[in-house]
Structure formats: C-alpha cells, structure tokens
Structure 1
Amino acid sequence: MSTVKVTKGHGTANDFVILDDPDAGGRLDAETVRRLTDRRRGLGADGLIRVARSTALVDGDQSATHADTAVAAGAEWFMDYRNADGSVAEMCGNGVRVFAHYLVRRGRVDPARPILVGTRGGVKTVTMVADPAGGQAPWYRVDMGRWNLPLLSADDSDRGADSVVSTRGVDVDRPAVSVDMGNPHTVVALPSLDELISAELATAPAVDPVPEDGTNVEYIVVDADGDADPRTGRLRMRVHERGVGETMACGTGACAAALAARFWAGSDGPVDWTVDQPGGAVRVEIESERVFLSGPAVLVAEVALLELDITG
C-alpha cells in the first residue's frame, strides 16, 4: 500500500484536487485523474491541478513547449491542469487563483510580489488583493492576457453571433458568440432568469458549428439597472464545462461572459463587470485587448490517499 498526499481547494466552489509534484516525477494518466476527481469513488472535483516546476516539465510530452515559455518568462511554477474526465486543458481561471494561493500557503512565493504562473494558455501574472466586499477569504487578481473573438471582429457587432446553441430546457435554439480565452468558450444570452434557471446543463449543449476542440458554454442574463455607473455592469451566469459538465463557477467563462456582454453592448458598454455564478461572484475588468479576473481562493483540506500509485 502506498500513500499519496493531496490538497482539496476551490475558487467560488469550482473545486480541485491539488497534487504536489514539484519534480514532475509522478505518472499522471487520464485514469488516475478520473479516479481522483470522481465524486463517489474518489475525492470529487471539477479538475486536477498538478503543481510542478516549469523546468521539470520542459522535456514532458504534453507541456514541453508551454514549459519552455514559462521558464523563459521567469515563471518557476507551472499549473498542469486536467479536466475531471482526464483530458488536458489549456487554462482555468479559478484554478490559477487556487494554484497561486497554494504556493503562498506553502511559502514558495512572496504574496507581496506578483506571482508568475506557467500554464498551457500562457504565463499568468497573479497578485493578492483585498475582497471588495470585505470578506476574509484571500482574493487574487489574474492578468488573463489577450482575448479574441475567433469568428467575429470588433466591427461585427451588427451580426451579434457566430453560432447557434441548442439546450435542453430552453424552448428554442439561441444565437451565441465564440470567445477565445486561451481555451474555447461559447456565450449565450438569455432573455430572463426563468430561462437561465430552466436550462438543463447536465448534458452537453449542441453547438453549431462545433468547435474543433470542443467548447465551454456560458449562459448569461445581464442585470438591467438604469441608475448604475455606465462603466460597470452585472450579469448572472451558468456554465457547462467541456469534460466536466455543469460547474458552480468558471473563471475563464466569467471573463468570456463579460467580454461577450461588452461586445453586444458596443464600445460604450461596461468594462468592469461583476459576474454572479452559483458558487459566488467574481470581478472581470476589461482593458483594451486584455482582461483581468479577481476572486477568492480557498484551501479546504489536506488528504492522505491510500492505494494510489503514481510513481514513475
């Protein structure tokens, strides 16, 4: 019998198993990920985060190019992220905050300085910030980098959509817009909270055209408030994540939702958004071609797993 220690953490209830493997010496295959994240036979999580040094992954088969970039940028640590089905993912906005918090709690980085995190979606700069609502959980602000609308240009706002999404519980197919956050997203605007609540997201929505690598699908309702600052906005969101199903929150999805809402509102639309999700609220700030995500990160427990062999 072997024992492996892992940590459970979450960002706005988007939860993760964190595997500390600094030298990337462990064997992390899809079946192991599925076993760990299974909610009945394992610990239960939306995904798994392996904490490894970027230099240790340079010769790896799935992260080599990205690890090279991280090393060149001075990012000592790399977030090797896997979806609950075992598939490799580019990035996770909630996960990168939890990753940074883990490094802070382990004393591996200085929380008073920007934290560089290597990911398959590029190197992310993370800083610790105060919870705007005065809560006790630490918040982290992530420079999520550049974004784009892969099938539309900024001058295509009159088109408004590039795809159509069919969803159980929603009576008619809805138009949507694709947003590239380093991982793929498809954002659907719904007319009412009733329709947002009625959407059945246990099964994957049908997206046409189907993106080559699949997509995360966000459903949003923009709160109308005529007295609000025109530069700020608020929306509610639910999400179906590829390889996982419905999750309580999605960080890159929250960014995609805010960017889509801004796109539909036009150049004078809000640039500072609060995104309410079932797991809690996050803040999204849009600055020209870059977007920033702020939200909480919590470590819940340290666990010793029995009968799991990940030795190389």
Structure 2
Amino acid sequence: MSAPFTKMHGAGNDFVVFDGVTRPVVLTPEKIRRLADRHFGIGCDQVLVVERPTASGADFRYRIFNADGGEVEQCGNGARCFVCFVRDKRLTAKDEIAVETISGMIYPRLEPDGNVTVNMGVPRLDPAEVPFQAGMRENVYDLEVNGRKVSVTVLSMGNPHAVQVVPEVDNAPVNTQGPLIERHPRFPQRVNAGYMQVVDRGHIRLRVYERGAGETLACGSGACAAVVAGRQRGLLDDKVDVKLLGGTLRVSWAGEGQPVWMTGPAVTVFEGTIDLDRL
C-alpha cells in the first residue's frame, strides 16, 4: 500500500507523520522499526498517526509509536508537530484542537509566531500512577543502578519519567546509565531517564534517554517533567527555558494540581510517499 507521509521535527526530535483520517494506515511493529531505521527506512525517533477521534469532544486521535515499534502514551514535541500537520493538510481550520491520546486529552494551540503551545495536562506525582514501585510518595527517591545509588524525581506526564539533577549535563552518563534506568525493575512500563543541569532558577539544560528510542535531540514531555521535578525540589521558578540538544522549549507550571504548558517550534522537513507493503 502506497502511503503519503510528512517528515517533521520539534527541536530536533523527528517524526514520520501519517494521515489516518482520509485513508487507512496499517502499521505493524516490524514496519515501524523499518520506517524509523535511519539507513534502510525514512528515519525518525517516533512515527505519528493522525486518526478520527473515539472520545467525545476530541477533534482527532493521536497515536505515537517509538522507533522500537512500541506504542506509547505521550510525546510533547510530536503534539506540536501534530497541530501543524492537521492545519497544513486542511484537516481542520482551528488554531487550537482537542486531541485524544492513550493518556487523556491534550490541547495544542498554533501561535501567531508559528510556535505551538501545548497544555500537557496535570502531572501525576503518585508513584502508583507513574507507575513506579515505591512505598509512599516522595520528592526524591533513591534508585539502585548497577550497584550505585541514583537520586531521581519520578512522575508521569502521561508517560513515565525519572529525572536526576547533574552538575554538568555534557558529562552525564546518558547513554550508559540511561538504558539501565529505562528498564529498571521498579518501573513496570519502563521509563524515560532525564538528566537536568540547573543553570539558574529560570534556565536548565536537559538530555533525555527516551524509552524505546534512545537519546533524542529533544523530548517535550521530558522537558515538562524536568521542570516539575525542579519545582518539586525547590530549584526552579514557574517559567523555565529548557535548553535541549536540538533547541529550546519554554515550560510553565504554576504548581501541584495545575497543568504544565509547553511552547516550542514545529517544522516540516519534507514530504514523500512510501510503499508500506515493501517494508
């Protein structure tokens, strides 16, 4: 089956996006892995599929598949690309849309300057909702990783995150320790491992080892999780610029019980057509 696609990125976190509204898109985990392969496929961190909604009040359904073929709950950079995609394809004329995800509704909004703001929802701080195996809720947990204790703040932004504060993010063990944290037995659904350097109360630097994708140039939900973690630890103000390898996002969080807001770019790189049956 020949299928049109759009290659997009949000601060370097890149996606292959399919329109599943006007035509069916059938993807198996094996096909997704081949699509995501940077040598034998198109190449991406995640594959995104736009579908008709099943939830009342939603404009679209948003499905996210990591490069390893697994479907996941949330992707903030993808959400920004999502609203630009449906506008560019004339699937909607709205500037703000209600989007159904596995973890609930999100509301990306196209700004006049071309950036996109997303209401990422209220962070979940109870370990059972992450999910994370812990006796009680704490701001910081000790996690044993390869015989060493690592201090992490654990929360869900619709998907699970474990954020640690490091003195210098350039030297953080993202690609050696990150895979061990991702598959740590206390995270039954695996986890995204974030490494945050606090520059000052309004600025952080961040690297993220993403569940099922490895280190990416940017992680939108990871940026939100890092700001929540920093606020929980008393290190950050309510508006923070998050500098990632691929660009900078602006994240705002007023505090517990309130939603996290994220603003950043969404860029179309190129469009094409691929025969999914030949993957």
Task: Report the TM range for the smaller structure's normalisation.
Answer: 0.7 to 0.9
Secondary structure (helix, strand or coil) at the match of 2:71 reads coil
Distance 2:227 2:77 in 1: 15
User: What per-residue deviation string (whole Å, max 9, x for no partner) do you get for residues 102-135 of structure 1?
Assistant: 0111122224x4211111121111112255xxxx
1:205 corresponds to which residue?
180
Give a deviation string over 1:187-216, Cα, whole Å, max 9, x none.
Answer: 0111234533x5435961336552110000
Residue 276 (str. 1) matches residue 243 (str. 2):
yes
RMSD: 2.4
CA offset digits 1:61-82 (Å, max 9, x no partner): xxxxxx3x3xx12x22111111
Q: Quote the residue 1:249 is aligned against.
A: 218
Partner of 1:227: none
Separation of aligned partners in 1, 2:39 and 2:150? 34
Secondary structure of 1:205's partner? Answer: helix
Corresponding residue to 2:108 among 104, 126, 140? 126
Q: Aligned pair in 2 of structure 1 residues 192, 203: CA closer, same or farther (>3 Å)?
A: closer
- Counterpart residue number, 1:60: none
Secondary structure of 2:140's counterpart equals: coil
Which residue in 1 is equivalent to 2:234?
Answer: 265
**Residue among 78, 81, 99 paired with 1:95:** 78
**Do the aligned residues in 2 keep the contact of 1:79 with 1:117 (CA within 8 Å)?**
yes
Partner letter of residue 246 of structure 2? Answer: G
SS at match of 1:15: strand
Matched to 1:87, the amino acid is: G
Report the more deviating stretch, 245-254 or 232-241.
232-241
Q: For 2:209, which of 240, 249, 271 is the aligned residue?
A: 240
Structure 2: runs of 5 or more not aligned = 129-136
Q: Which residue of 2 aligns with 1:217?
A: 193
Letter in 2 for 1:79: Y
Q: 1:294 aligns to what?
A: 263
Bigger radius of gyration among the two: 1
Question: C-alpha distance in 2, partners of 1:287/1:24?
Answer: 41
| Contact 1:163 1:209 (8 Å CA) reproduced | no
The alignment's TM-score, normalised by the length of structure 1, stands at: 0.79
Structure 2 counterpart of 1:139, which letter? Answer: N
Mapped contact 1:262–1:270 kept (Cα < 8 A): yes
* 3-state DSSP of counterpart to 2:7: strand
Q: Structure 1 CA distance, aligned partners of 2:112 and 2:232?
A: 29
Q: Which runs of no fewer than 5 residues in structure 1 stay unpaired?
A: 55-66, 132-137, 153-157, 225-231
Q: Distance in 2 between matches of 1:142 and 1:34?
A: 28
Aligned residues: 267
2:10 is aligned to: 11
1:146 aligned counterpart, secondary structure? coil
CA distance in structure 1 between the aligned counterparts of 2:178 and 2:139, rounded to whole angstroms = 26
Instruction: Tell me the residue number matched to 1:20.
Output: 19
Q: Distance in 2 between matches of 1:45 and 1:202?
A: 23
Question: TM-score normalized by structure 2?
Answer: 0.88
